Amino acid sequence: MKMAIVGAGVVGLATGAGFADLGHSVHCVDIDTGKIALLSRGSIPYHEPGLEALVLRNTSAGRLTFGHNPSKLLNDVELLFITVGTPSGDTGEMSLAALWSVIDQIEAWPDTDIRRMIAIKSTVPVGTAERVELRLRSRLPDNCLVDVVSIPEFMREGSAVRDFFEPSRIVIGTASVDAEERLTQLHQRLPGPILATDRRSAELAKLAANACLAVKISFANEIAALAEQTGADYPSVAHSLGLDPRIGPHFLAAGLGFGGSCLPKDTRALVRMADEAGAPQTLVEAAVRANAMLPLRMVRKLEAALSDPGRRRVALLGLAFKPGTDDMREAPSLRLIAELSRRHPGITLTAYDPEANHAARKLLPSSVKICDSAEEALKGADAAILVTEWREFRQIKADDFKIWMNRPIIMDGRNALDAAALNAQGVVCIGVGRLPVVPNESARKSGDLVPKV
């Protein structure tokens, strides 16, 4: 099939290159001419495992091409995917400016024998596909027939390519049997179950999935807080919860909460849309609020472990919103840094992320020293906060913490480290949802959870 994609973000590129790899001819368009120039030279502007190889393989085979003008895209393609961003507007609603800009640029096509399809993959409010179709119909000649469909994307950053080839499900929301059949056939070679439904249900299925994940994470974080207050161990509680097949083991990790380009924005948009629709989502709203409190909670825990943080040096291990990506959009590290600086104006912050340092230099205040290694960030630090659970942080030895740091106090914001092993070797490691561990027997006897600093 000949297809086009508008929006060369991670989702657009992985989708375009993925379909090209399945033998289709794909033309990928983006308004950002710099990005298109890079892509045309074979360079990928994202840190996304497997994407570069996939794109290169298909550009050199001539199945994947790039451009920047969406106006004539429907001239010779049967299917146009829209994967442009739908960022948060001022009051939490989704901004559909980029989507409407694409739709309004689409010109009438000459060969009207084949009915065109526009598939919206961007996450959008319920009813958007219908509105897009109405807007196109009002502007295009009657013989330019187009089906606007909703095929939401469930790709995760860091595993976008795998998620394309091994989708958990493929949701196809259409308003015509013809579109449903053509799209079902297109996706037949992918292994996930295909769920054919109407457009509104497909749109809500995406928003509901992200909201459900957000609720699960906030639930985990609140139970973890309760575990801390009552002397229980949250990881053991989570393990037990996860073994219940009705609950499942995923998205129960407590820590600094959810960030990224999707969960925060999509939950806000769902709450806003639900209010307008007269079906308030109080649970999701509470999940969003609970998530926003987590960085402050971490700062308070640091204050309990380290006297006078305003005169101390604190190292942040990890800045990206999750490991495996260089993305800092709505990363918990940003709110954590803001809280630390607000409550302790004199604090010295150092930070290191294996992939996100470049993005961090553009986003963080110059007062945060971005370091080239964990060792450099930890050197002379009075405490460290593990913000993103990169594997390399798990490999830091207790002796390294003790030699590099002024005082080996680690606030493990993701329960990524072996607290018991570190503790046994004289490093204070305080996880989430667990009692603080003491560094040695004498401190336990004296009743101190954390050595006085």
Q: Tell me the one-letter amino acid at 427.
A: V
CB of 321 to ligand UDX, least distance (A): 4
CB of 154 to ligand UDX, least distance (A): 4
Query: Judged by CB under 6 A, does residue 116 bind ligand UDX?
Result: no
Query: Judged by CB under 6 A, does residue 257 bind ligand UDX?
Result: yes
- Out of 144, 262, 371, 429, the active site residue is 262
- 186 annotated to bind ligand: no
- 401 annotated to bind ligand: no
Distance CA 101, CA 160 (A): 26
Query: Judged by CB under 6 A, does residue 259 bind ligand UDX?
Result: yes
* Residue from 153, 285, 382, 412 in contact with ligand UDX (CB under 6 A): 153
Decide whether 333 or 350 has the Cβ nearer to ligand UDX: 333
CB of 237 to ligand UDX, least distance (A): 13
- Asked whether the beta carbons of 109 and 144 are under 8 A apart, the reply is yes
Query: Judged by CB under 6 A, does residue 8 bind ligand UDX?
Result: no
- 254 annotated to bind ligand: yes
Query: Judged by CB under 6 A, does residue 12 bind ligand UDX?
Result: no
* Beta strands per DSSP E along 91-177: 116-120, 146-150, 170-173
For residue 375, the SS3 value is helix
Distance CA 149, CA 175 (A): 7
Decide whether 23 or 193 has the Cβ nearer to ligand UDX: 193
Residue whose structure tokens are 């969003």:
288
Q: For the chain, give me the number of helices (H) and strands (E)? A: 18, 14
Q: Between 313 and 342, how does the x/- string for binding to ligand UDX read (CB under 6 A)?
A: --------xx--------------------
Helix (H) or strand (E) holding 428: strand 428-430
CB of 209 to ligand UDX, least distance (A): 6
* Residue from 12, 125, 235, 260 in contact with ligand UDX (CB under 6 A): 260
Is the C-alpha dihedral spanning 30, 35, 41, 44 positive or negative? negative
CB of 384 to ligand UDX, least distance (A): 18
- Asked whether the beta carbons of 349 and 340 are under 8 A apart, the reply is yes
Pull the structure tokens for residue 7: 């929006």
CB of 132 to ligand UDX, least distance (A): 20
Decide whether 147 or 266 has the Cβ nearer to ligand UDX: 266
* Residue from 59, 210, 333, 415 in contact with ligand UDX (CB under 6 A): 210
CB of 206 to ligand UDX, least distance (A): 7
Decide whether 12 or 255 has the Cβ nearer to ligand UDX: 255
- 252 annotated to bind ligand: yes
Distance CA 56, CA 6 (A): 19
262 is catalytic: yes
- Asked whether the beta carbons of 133 and 23 are under 8 A apart, the reply is no
Distance CA 250, CA 143 (A): 49
Judged by CB under 6 A, the stretch of 65-73, 249-257, 308-316, 372-380 that binds ligand UDX is: 249-257
- 389 annotated to bind ligand: no
Query: What's the distance, Cα to Cα, between the start and end of the chain in Å?
Result: 66
- 156 annotated to bind ligand: yes
Q: Tell me the one-letter amino acid at 291.
A: N
Distance CA 371, CA 316 (A): 10
- Asked whether the beta carbons of 351 and 360 are under 8 A apart, the reply is yes
Distance CA 166, CA 85 (A): 23
Decide whether 59 or 291 has the Cβ nearer to ligand UDX: 291
- Report which of 437, 12, 434, 18 is spatially closest to residue 236, judged by C-alpha positions: 434
Q: Among all residues, which ones are annotated catalytic?
A: 262
**Residues flagged as binding site:** 30, 35, 86, 123, 154-157, 206, 251-255, 259, 265, 322, 329
| Footprint of ligand UDX (CB under 6 A) | 153-157, 210, 213, 217, 251-253, 255, 257-260, 262-263, 321-322
